[in-house]
Amino acid sequence: MKQRNILALGLISVLLLSAVCVAAGQEPQAAQRSSRSNATASSPRVDINIYADPTTLDPALATDTSANRGIEQLFVGLVDLDDETAEVQPELATSWTVSPDATVYTFTLRSDATWSDGNPITAGDVRYGILRSLDIGADYAASMLSVIRNAQAYHQGNVTADQVGVTALAATSLRIELEYPAAYALSVLAQPCARPVPEWTIDAHGGGWTTLANIVTSGPYLLTEWDHSHYMLLNKNPDYFDADDVQIERVKMWMVDEPSGLQMYRDGVIETTGIPLDEMSAIRRDPLLSQELHIAPTPCTYYYGFSVSEEPFDDPLVRKAFIAATDRRGLINNILQGGQQPALTYTSPGIFGHVDGYEAGVGIPYNPTQAQQWLSAAGYPGGAGLPSVTLWHNESPGHQAIAEYIRNGWATILGADVSLNGSLSWIDYLGELEKGDFPVWRLGYCADYPEASNYLSDGVRPGDYGGWDNPTYWALLDQASRTEDPTLRAAIYKDAERILVETDAVMLPLYYHTSVQLTKPYLERTYAAGLGDIATWRITRASGTVDSAGGQGSSYDGDTIVAVPQGAFTTTTVITHTPTN
């Protein structure tokens, strides 16, 4: 997997995020084996910034970008998604067959894959991982896996494990039966919630099985240090079945904010990082750093949500007024400056079922006059009597800058008194958000698989919206999941989008992300939404010059900005779970 899972990754990494959370890589994969200055030729190493401490390394419980960044390096999947194309490719499974009605998949697994404790990885481990995600995992995991026969019924306690459509036929043979044909089924099986996990270790250590002392993993890297809120250190797994193709032998994942990450990049401590919003202009003018700036589109959406249980957003006219008073293009031009696209709908471009709100007339565009009319119709002419509200975001200078810009617009157009609260860490923020008590709040979402249901179903948690529920909305998504005709399915998704962002107006999509990253010239990496698979990255040569900030750099003759056409995402996506941080 390259992978709520997130997104810099536009502001994904910068603000996250994403965010963040996801996204498809753009850089070629080089096979050169030379080293950089702080590593020997036989031991290439890379230091990166992941911004936040992973909330968990348990694949069944992961719901955010930070967690999936670590899980991607530590645990193999039944199948994988290519970081550059997001196409399904073999990983633990070497091949598979599909029944004529496209509801039964039979996988042949590798016989040379082992856990880090030496035990073989078997079809039974895959089955156990899926059942465990359905048993103890979040509703998000169950929603993702609901394409499997009886998965939702098992999650809800209505059937037994033997009735779920996952069967280990032999140590290296697995059958998965689906509820209905789904073109995205294999992409779902690449997600963390479908990954094999070691049952014997979990039985022995319970919830503590992913601590440094107990964790047993299967991926290209091993967890060797975890200084919470500071860094994780990963070393190459010599027993990984594809170890010969893993060039980078040590990965240090720092957990620092955007400004600190940029300074570490300038000082040559880390090789790739996102960019604080207030530094974009300076970096574009910098003769060296502008050469190391990479910008590319990525299928992630940054949005605000409203709690329908909190005044004044219990009135849909007020929600519509606040949305119509939001200048997305001004936000992008004046604050973000990273080539983002304004978003009227939730599902990002390149995902099947995406609706261009501006062309299709779906969503609520910037219209100050209409905003004032809606607010007046709700009983608050000119903002008179409008209760004060608090806009929540997790701790981040980037999120703060976005919130300040939007608050100023709401104050000017609506006369709204809006305070900001960005005091919570990412982990604490997610915990509080689930209570549904934030009147208006921010998140980002990145695609796990290329279907609008991933956003509209998996990426919408009613609890966050103060218990918002619309039976018509959920019935549309259920209908779409069972509709094979792509034209009809796209039309159903369009109707669902309209309810979410216009009729009920519980979500304010702000923009579709771009990946905005600084990367040293000697590091060739992919640019998925999320870190992607570091095992495919390459150190191409030693850095030799010292840049103006005193850090290690090197000359670079390539194009300044990597611009990937939007069409690159028309049939594929990336994988970074939401929410993005």
> What's the sign of the alpha-carbon dihedral 329, 336, 310, 156?
positive
Q: How far is CA 253 from CA 275, 277, 445, 534, 574, in A?
A: 17, 22, 22, 11, 21
The pLDDT score that the predictor gives to residue 529 is 54
223: three-class secondary structure by DSSP: strand
The pLDDT score that the predictor gives to residue 1 is 36
Nearest alpha carbon to residue 474 among 491, 440, 450, 499: 499
Rounded to 5 degrees, φ, ψ at 321 are -65, -45
Tell the burial category of 90 from Cβ atoms under 10 Å away from its Cβ (0-12, 13-18, 19+).
middle
Owner of token pair 């050169």: 32
Q: What is the CA radius of gyration of the chain?
A: 23
Nearest alpha carbon to residue 390 among 442, 316, 444: 442
Give the separation between CA 20 and CA 15, rounded to whole angstroms: 7
DSSP calls for 406-462: HHHHHHHHH---EEEE--S-HHHHHHHHTTT--SEEEEEEE-SSSBTHIIIIIT--G
The pLDDT score that the predictor gives to residue 534 is 95
The pLDDT score that the predictor gives to residue 139 is 79
Give the separation between CA 49 and CA 251, rounded to whole angstroms: 10
The pLDDT score that the predictor gives to residue 272 is 94
Q: Which residues of the chain have pLDDT under 50?
A: 1-41, 543-579
The pLDDT score that the predictor gives to residue 581 is 61
